[in-house]
Amino acid sequence: MSAILAAAESTTGWVIGYTIAIVVVLVVVALVVPILLLAKRIGDQAGEVDDLLQEAVGNTAGLAGLNTTIDSAGKIIAGLGRGRARLGG
């Protein structure tokens, strides 16, 4: 009888240890799975954002020549001013 009690007492610690280990693993999984799902969603949206940014680059490429247009407009205005002055206006 004492051998059965000793065997039962020696396995109780293992059962408690395994139970705690399973609970810890389940808690870690419960915390990590939402993080992984969120990371996947962010990764999917990152591709869309990159595509939209590439489109924006194409749409704003003409702005690179804006300074040239401003300089040309300034020269035209100055020329018009000189012409007006010569005409007496």
pLDDT in tens, 22-54: 999 999 999 999 999 999 999 999 999 999 999
Give one DSSP letter per residue of 66-89, joined into a string.
HHHHHHHHHHHHHHHHHHHHHHT-
Say what the pLDDT of residue 8 is.
60
Write the CA distances from 14 to 19, 21, 22, 85, integer angstroms.
Answer: 8, 10, 12, 103
Q: How confident is the model over 47-82, as pLDDT tens digits?
A: 999 999 999 998 988 888 888 999 999 999 999 999
Query: Is pLDDT of 1 > 60?
Result: no
Q: How confident is the model over 4-20, as pLDDT tens digits?
A: 656 566 788 888 999 99
Write the CA distances from 11 to 2, 5, 17, 59, 79, integer angstroms.
Answer: 14, 10, 10, 72, 101
